[in-house]
Structure 1
Amino acid sequence: MKDVLVIGGSYFVGRVFVEDLSRNPDYSIYVMNRGNVPLNIKGITEIKCDRHNMEAMCEAIPSKEWNAVVDFCAYTPEDIAMMISALPSHAIGHYVYISTSSIYEKTNNLPIGEEAAKLTGPQPGPHGDYAYNKHLAEEELKSQCTENNIPWTIFRPTFIYGKYNYAPREKYFFDLVQEGETIIIPDNELALFTFVSVWDVVRAIIECMGNGNAYTKAFNLSGEELISYSRFVDVLRIITGEHIKVEHRNINQIDAQGIPLPFPLDEHLIYSGALITKEIGFSYTPFIEGMSATYAWYKTKRSGRQ
């Protein structure tokens, strides 16, 4: 039996990860978080504890040889340092950290690979320190794991879509389709994005846990397909089977009217997710297939069956 300690795990990617891993009888899963959203999954041990309380963590976390620690909610280098300090270094077989593709500096050298320049400071805006702090957390993880001889792997997903997504991304469009509303998109066709499904993120984590080919590596998680707003709407038509009304407006109009489009209006966000394919043979779900599964889940949830 392999013991896995999950930090976070109640929301979106973490929740899907715990659900999927719980179906494998080879794993004994412990989930530590503040307990605001209990999972109530059979066979899962839930530990109610705040990761910022060192004394509480040392008391609450069982004394085990963890095959993997999977950290979904470290936002600062202090979060990483405290978690590793709370566990004996010999007890961590592999530290897996879910970071973000937002740690990279803006560049015209696309697609953005893992070796691209990283942020050197906080960015403008209300959450401008988020990505920079995630980068600092990555560096702390590398330092701590090197010092304590702990294998590590970092994941940097691009836009994630799928089951349990609480960000108003695909749901924003699904709601408009269900309500028969017109979808407004930019008249600028040049903004292109890459996406990754939540199921692919989870599968990547599981396939890398304990895999020596993934040790001391950071992986972007990003499908190959380049998606524009227009292509996104095309996919919506295919997966919903609905007639979708579309209006194109310029960026100034969209900004002035406060239309909450979830992706950038006039810049590319294109990442390369090829390294993980090269290193462990990982393959990505086609965008239409992933979005079809997401829409099916959305309809089930909307109908109140989940």
Structure 2
Amino acid sequence: MRKILVTGGTNFVSRFTAEYFVKNGDEVYVLNRGSREQVDGVKLIQADRFNLTDELKDIHFDAVLDICAYSGGHVTALLNALGEFDDFVLISSSAVYPETNPQPFTEEQELGANSVWGDYGTNKIAAENALRERVPGAYILRPPYLYGKYETIYRAPFVFDCALSDRRFFIPESDRWLQFFNVRDLCRFMDIILNEHPGNRVFNVGNPEMISVKEWAELCYAAADKEPVLVRVDDNFTVRDYFPFHPYHYYLDVTKQQALMPELTPLGKGIKEEFDWYVEEKPEMYHRDYLGFIDREFSADEK
């Protein structure tokens, strides 16, 4: 049984991660403020990472999974508070690659500011740099759009709501290509890393195939046993007013990941699993008023 520390543990990726490793038979500690429901079976360390004193010093962790680091300061604060540990895995982001880099983005490319993601991307670069400086042997994972059970970002759930209400679905006139990764596959890959300790320390992770906006919407409707009526929206409209993705096309090379984990969750299956969870749990989500904008701007009789 491994002792594993998961930062967060109550929201989307960190919650799924905590649950995954508990079910895997590991002894899972979670670090959070204790303001939300905890995963069954975890050991709570109730604190903010910036206010830690000696809570972690006497625990030897076989692995630290930092799911919630969004800056160099986040990484440094956690490292300063830790005692001994063996492995460290940081969840970074594909936003660390400038959109001007040649695609598909590879792990060897130079990192830099991305005009679409702004501070989020540059802060993730700072987190990576802070970790590499202190822990050269740490692992860094750079995912594209993550999806799956416990998702709190109103992307697939927005389409589910449209499907359940038999609404038409509005997509940009210009084609957008999207790349996804199921949160379960992210956890499976972290598990592989902890078991096999590959020599490569930085991995792009994600499904190797891209998918069009149209295909993605069709898969989300199919999860509800519906078929969408798709309406293309003129590019003069701001995409983020009615659609849950940035007007940004990018493509990650995931060859190194595939060499270690060739079998992935089919996108249609993963979306269906998320839909079933969403319908059963009816989670509360905070999001832009996409439907209000659609009703005002595109069709007064939209239902």
Same fold (TM > 0.5): yes
Distance 1:231 1:47, change over 3 A: same
TM-score normalized by the length of structure 1: 0.86
Output the amino acid matched with 2:153.
A
Unaligned runs of 5+ in 2: 285-303
Give the equivalent residue in structure 2 for 1:249: 233
Give the equivalent residue in structure 1 for 2:258: 277
Give the equivalent residue in structure 2 for 1:154: 140
Q: Does 1:93 align with 2:86?
A: yes
Give the equivalent residue in structure 2 for 1:82: 77
Counterpart contact for 2:6–2:66, Cα < 8 Å:
yes
C-alpha offsets along residues 221-253 of structure 1, whole Å, 9 cap, x if unaligned? 110221111111222343322132221121213
Give the equivalent residue in structure 1 for 2:245: 263
Q: Which aligned pairs between 1:190-229 and structure 2 lie closer than 5 A?
A: 191-213=176-198, 217-229=201-213
Q: Does 1:117 align with 2:101?
A: no
Counterpart contact for 1:239–1:291, Cα < 8 Å:
yes
Provide the C-alpha distance between the structure 2 equivalents of 1:234 and 1:225, rounded to a whole number of angstroms: 16
Counterpart contact for 2:177–2:211, Cα < 8 Å:
yes
Q: Percent identity?
A: 26
Give the equivalent residue in structure 1 for 2:55: 60
Output the amino acid matched with 1:104.
Y
Counterpart contact for 1:93–1:210, Cα < 8 Å:
no
| Structure 1 residue 35: Cα displacement | 1.4
Give the equivalent residue in structure 1 for 2:12: 12
Paired positions, count: 284
| Structure 1 residue 165: Cα displacement | 1.0
Output the amino acid matched with 2:20.
D
Q: Does 1:38 align with 2:22?
A: no
Counterpart contact for 1:58–1:87, Cα < 8 Å:
no
Quote the RMSD (CA, aligned, Å).
2.1
| Structure 1 residue 107: Cα displacement | 2.9
Give the equivalent residue in structure 1 for 2:224: 240
| Structure 1 residue 302: Cα displacement | 3.0
Q: Which residue, 258, 268, 278 being the options, matches 1:288?
A: 268
Q: Does 1:301 align with 2:285?
A: no
Counterpart contact for 1:81–1:141, Cα < 8 Å:
yes
Q: Which residue, 149, 156, 170 being the options, matches 1:170?
A: 156
| Structure 1 residue 303: Cα displacement | 9.7
Structure 1 counterpart SS, 2:54: helix
Moved more, 268-277 or 168-177: 268-277
Structure 2 counterpart SS, 1:292: helix
Provide the C-alpha distance between the structure 1 equivalents of 2:11 and 2:255, rounded to a whole number of angstroms: 27
Distance 1:20 1:205, change over 3 A: same
Distance 1:303 1:157, change over 3 A: closer
| Structure 1 residue 8: Cα displacement | 1.4
Give the equivalent residue in structure 1 for 2:287: none
Output the amino acid matched with 2:38.
L
Distance 1:156 1:86, change over 3 A: same
Could you list the structure 1 runs, at least 4 aligned residues long, displaced by more than 6 angstroms after superposition.
none
Provide the C-alpha distance between the structure 2 equivalents of 1:253 and 1:69, rounded to a whole number of angstroms: 44
| Structure 1 residue 62: Cα displacement | 5.6
C-alpha offsets along residues 185-214 of structure 1, whole Å, 9 cap, x if unaligned? 12223x21111111111211122124321x
Output the amino acid matched with 2:169.
I
